[in-house]
Structure 1
Amino acid sequence: MDQEPKRLGAVLWLIDNHGDELEYELIKAGVRLRWLGCPLLSWHDIYLIAANSEPGTPLAKALDKRMAWKPIDFWMRSIEYSLRWLVWAKTKDGQKGRRKPKPVQPPGTSNRDPNRRDVVRKTDLVGMDKWSLRDYLNQPRIAASA
């Protein structure tokens, strides 16, 4: 029961700030917001529908701009970038390594975003000296059971 007040507040905030997007999600689920409080629709139901909205839906986009793309959009971006890179590699610029094509950025991201997942900072990498590595590799190994 500890989570209920937080969830109730989240649902109230959703209704106030993203009511249209929430109603669209509820209509897709076969219920209406006006049924809230009836046996057909509880506050918990609304919370679960909103919390599990699929990427690419209006509610997901309203809550987080990075959720505007569906997984298929990321696949298509990868394919498109690969094809552009292959064409670039056959040009004179490609042979000399100039003006390499850049992939399309997903919505809500930027190259300067410090929270980007594909960025590896030097402070994230932790090294191991050779004695620690030797000790680690000399530890007994346990056979994996099938």
Structure 2
Amino acid sequence: MARALGAEPGGILSLDALLEEHSEAIEYDLIVLGLRLRMLGTDVLGWADLRSIVKHLPLESALLRTMYPEGSRWRTAEHLLADVADSLRWLAWARTDDGRRGRNMPEPIVRPGRKSTRERVGTATELDQMNDFLGWND
């Protein structure tokens, strides 16, 4: 019956688990909206309301900063600046003797959630994936 009404099973249990782990951050996000966690289960703030709020929190919300501390600091602007810095370093390197010989390439700025190039370069699987991407395995 719940599916017929558009509800998903386990919604309250999922929210409860999220509340157990991140209650302080959720409380803060609710305070910003003029609500309180103690209102949960009343006509002012139902479980469906909380689900909608949590599902559509902005990127700068306390919950997302708590759940993804490293990644939440990097927005589009930070990624673009890192790309610009990497490009400038690569261009400067390309004009050196090392660049002409293809050695000692500068290490890109490590982005959140990614390993440094030195930690991930050189495996056969990744080389095969790159060759597939470039169309060289056809």
* Shift in alpha-carbon separation, 1:41–1:22, aligned structure 2, 3 A: same
- The question of whether the paired residues in 2 share the 8 Å contact of 1:18 and 1:59 is answered with yes
Report the count of equivalent residues: 123
What residue in structure 2 maps to residue 87 of structure 1? Answer: 92
What residue in structure 1 maps to residue 29 of structure 2? Answer: 25
* Shift in alpha-carbon separation, 1:60–1:88, aligned structure 2, 3 A: same
Verify: 1:99 aligned to 2:104, yes or no.
yes
Verify: 1:43 aligned to 2:47, yes or no.
yes
Please state whether the residue corresponding to 1:75 is helix, strand or coil. helix
TM-score, scaled relative to structure 2: 0.66
Partners of 1:103 and 1:56 lie apart in 2 by: 26
RMSD (Å), alpha carbons: 3.3
Pick the aligned partner of 1:74 from 68, 76, 79. Answer: 79
* Shift in alpha-carbon separation, 1:51–1:121, aligned structure 2, 3 A: farther
Partners of 2:57 and 2:32 lie apart in 1 by: 11
What residue in structure 2 maps to residue 63 of structure 1? Answer: 67
TM-score, scaled relative to structure 1: 0.63
- The question of whether the paired residues in 2 share the 8 Å contact of 1:56 and 1:70 is answered with no
Verify: 1:6 aligned to 2:10, yes or no.
yes
AA at the equivalent of 2:97 = K
Q: Any idea what the Cα deviations from partners look like across 1:95-142, whole Å, max 9, x if unmatched?
A: 3222212222222332568xxxxx6854xx5x9xxxxxxxxxxxxxxx
Verify: 1:110 aligned to 2:115, yes or no.
yes
Partners of 2:92 and 2:31 lie apart in 1 by: 45
* Shift in alpha-carbon separation, 1:6–1:121, aligned structure 2, 3 A: farther
The answer for unaligned runs of 5 or more in structure 2 is 121-125
Partners of 1:108 and 1:88 lie apart in 2 by: 26
